[in-house]
Structure 1
């Protein structure tokens, strides 16, 4: 497995643990269709949340939050609409979050949860 993929899987696991510890119920992970992938889908109280997870081991490529703008955010919205079409639920509000995971060589793993990020 490539180091990038391993880092991404690590970050998604940390993000799911963080979300579950906050009371969210994980509905789906790594949901794929021909147009792309949703990292994590959760129910947070009465809200359906589509979470994009960005994991970084440094600042070489900028912050994870900088990577979820414009076309990337629009793509996640389109994927969410497809997920909703395939998974009928009671009508509920939808939110788009970003979970930033920072894995440094030393020290604890950092997690920042940006609710309603886009």
Structure 2
């Protein structure tokens, strides 16, 4: 059940990002460090997007589920993606799309600060 919800949330996040002018390059890119939910491009910047869905905003909601450990894995996976795709100097950032219940997605840009 949660896998189906997760896939639906990622599909909604892709549609949302495209409506904001992003071009989705890939989804669910896997490597030994983990998975990048969405890889997109926006205004010449490569985006590595973490999608988080929570049915209810309990326990801090979707944003609180991006832990420092998860962020570290995401950064390492993004670095590997850049190396493997011959884009080591590409402008890039790590973003998140948060979806809580039936609310509209929220796009948080540059979650690494």
1:40 aligns with 2:34: no
Query: Deviation per CA, 1:63-91, whole angstroms, max 9, x where unpaired?
Result: 11111131111110000011111112383
Q: Work out which of the two has the higher radius of gyration on C-alpha atoms and give 1 or 2.
A: 1
Counterpart for residue 21 of structure 1? 19
TM-score, length-normalised on structure 1? 0.87
User: TM-score, normalized by length of structure 2?
Assistant: 0.90
RMSD: 1.5
Give the length in aligned residue pairs.
Answer: 112
Q: What are the ranges of 5 or more consecutive residues in structure 2 without an aligned counterpart?
A: none
Q: Cα distance, 1:59 vs. partner? A: 2.5
Residue aligned with 1:92, SS: coil
Structure 1: runs of 5+ lacking an equivalent: none
After TM superposition, which residue ranges in structure 1, 4 or more long, deviate above 4 angstroms? none
